[in-house]
Each structure stands twice: as structure tokens, then as C-alpha cells.
Amino acid sequence: MTQPRVWKIHLDRPLAPGGWRSLSDAERERARRLGSARERHRFMVAHAALRAILGDVCGVRAARLAFGTEDGGRPYVTLPHGRTAPGFDLPDDEAAPDSNLSHSRAVADSNLLRGRGAPDFNLSHSEEWALVAVAPPGSRVGVDVERIREDLDCLAMAGSMYQREEVDRLREAGPSGLRTGYFRLWTAKEAYVKAVGVGLAGLRNVLVREESTTHGAVLSPPGAALPVRWLDVAPGYAAAVVTAAAAS
């Protein structure tokens, strides 16, 4: 399965030129309803960046992108009838799997565009960072980023939300690894349910096994294991991306 491409966006940077105009009326209204200027700014930067990325990938102006929603509310890109997403060359300096839009232009990986139809995507944000993951047609992708909170009783939360095997691993990690481990597992679980579209209610049924510091597997009966990749976003954050095959 082709790896998804992931972009990270620092949400406290200035809004890109034309970013406000690229948003839909619904997105602008959502931004206006947010409670603080910082929240409004971060929402606008995240959604303008998402549109810029998908516009490059799909060969459509960011402001003209159209979206639909699945029954569970998961968004997807809709392309005009008969339209397919074009391919782009990937420059050598963009070859890393994660690109920061504050330093580089979003350029699509041609591997994302094999097959017909629109690519799949997912957006996640937590405080000052956002991630956008894009996968080729025929795949589904989920991504999650979380600020590692110090005010959470991680072991108590794990006892009510996680599998026994996961709780045992967290206990064995000791005080130094418990909090980071809890959030690593959480991001993998949330990326999984976002990829497969089962909703947060499915978190309790998900088991995450860590194969290395960067990779693992997510299992949820009766489905097969799916690979998870943990991402290094910034100090104090945990993040993960999961890719699944689209239902035929």
C-alpha cells in the first residue's frame, strides 16, 4: 500500500495571502463563531492550508474545491464528473514524508495520484500544530496530533479506554514513559478510527501494538491489522497516521 503524504502546519504563522478568500462561506462562518481571536486564526490557517494542499494535488484552485460528507460526517473531495487528479513531479528537496508549509510550498507526490478519482485526506489539529494527510485514490487515511497534557490521569484514563495489554505496557513504562506512551496510543487509535470511519465509539475495540519507536500495528476485530506510523511533529506533541484500503 502506498504511504500517505503528511504535511505539518504551524497554526500561529500568518494566514497565507488569499487564504481567507479560498475558504467557503461555511468555513468562514465557522471561523466567525469561534470564541477567541487565536482560535479563529488557527482555524483559518489550518483550513486554508488544507485547501492549498488539496488544490495542488487535485489540480483545482483552492477556492473551487468542493467537499461531500459520508454518513458519519467524514469529509471527502468531490471532483467534476469525468475529472481525475493529475500527477506532479516531486522535487528532491520535498522527498521527506513530512513537509512544513511554513518553509516550503505544498507539492504533491505523484505516487498519491495513481488510479482514478480524488485522493483521500484527513486533517487534525491540536493547539499550535495541524497535520494534513493525503492518500491516493483507493486508500483511506487517518491522522491525529495531540498536545501531551500534564493535567490528565493517564493510567486511570487508560484503564477505562484501553485494552488490558496496552494498560500493562503503560504500567511497565514507569513514570517517565507513561504519559508519552498514553498519548502515542491515543493518536494511533484515533487515526485508525478516522481512517476506517467507525467513529470515536470504536476506540475501546482497538488494540495497538508497538513494533518500533516509529512503527506499529492497529488491530480491531474482526478486521486485519493496519500499519501505524508515529510522527515527530514538535516537542510536547504526539501524532500518528494510519492508512487503510477503501471499501470496494
Whether residue 11 contacts residue 45, with contact meaning beta carbons closer than 8 Å, is answered with yes
Per-residue pLDDT tens for 77-110?
987 654 545 443 322 333 233 444 333 333 344 4
- CB neighbours of 23 closer than 8 A, spacing ≥ 6? 31, 44, 47, 48, 51, 63
Number of domains in the chain: 1
Whether residue 180 contacts residue 148, with contact meaning beta carbons closer than 8 Å, is answered with yes
Whether residue 136 contacts residue 111, with contact meaning beta carbons closer than 8 Å, is answered with yes
Residue 170 identity (one-letter amino acid): L
- Given a cut of 70, the residues of the chain with pLDDT beneath it are 1, 80-116, 222, 248
- Residues paired with residue 228 on neighbouring β-strands, in sequence order: 216, 242
Among positive and negative, which fits the CA dihedral 214, 227, 58, 41? Answer: negative
> What is the pLDDT at residue 248?
57
Whether residue 140 contacts residue 243, with contact meaning beta carbons closer than 8 Å, is answered with yes
- In whole angstroms, give the CA distance from residue 148 to residue 219: 24
- CB neighbours of 145 closer than 8 A, spacing ≥ 6? 124, 125, 126, 129, 130, 131, 187, 231, 233, 237, 238, 239
pTM, two decimal places: 0.86
Per-residue pLDDT tens for 107-130?
344 456 544 578 999 999 999 999
> What is the pLDDT at residue 85?
53
CATH number at residue 198: 3.90.470.20
> What is the pLDDT at residue 116?
53
User: According to DSSP H, which parts of 9-70 are helical?
Assistant: 19-22, 25-33, 37-58
* Per-residue cell: 172: 511497565
Whether residue 132 contacts residue 50, with contact meaning beta carbons closer than 8 Å, is answered with yes
- In whole angstroms, give the CA distance from residue 190 to residue 195: 9
For 95, the domain range is 5-245
